[in-house]
Amino acid sequence: MGEHNVDYNFFGGPNNFSKWMDVHTNASCPLTERSNIENLVGQFASGMTNLLGNLVHGWTAMSGGDGEEVANQFRSFVRGGTSRPTGSRARYDHNDS
């Protein structure tokens, strides 16, 4: 998992990612730990950027009515008012918060 696999576009490039990490890293974090965490966060952010891009691509390919229905479901999920699986046996908890 080298740095070459990470898409830093969300942060405006690798230099801005380092600045973002500077702001959010605890001052007591050792340099070796930070390097490992930086790689992991970079991989995660890259994956999320890719996932979000795929979501937008699929969403914008839908017809108007379908897109609006998905948008309403997405809003409900983002606000936390949806059922989410809580375990590997497909049990659900309802969250109205």
Domain enclosing residue 41, as ranges: 1-64
pLDDT in tens, 30-71: 999 999 999 999 999 988 888 888 888 888 888 877 878 888
Number of domains in the chain: 1
Does pTM surpass 0.85?
Answer: no
If we measure between CA atoms, which residue out of 54, 49, 53, 26 comes closest to residue 38? 26
Residue 88 inside a domain? The answer is: no
For residues 18 and 9, the answer to whether their CB atoms sit within 8 Å is no
Residue 11 inside a domain? The answer is: yes
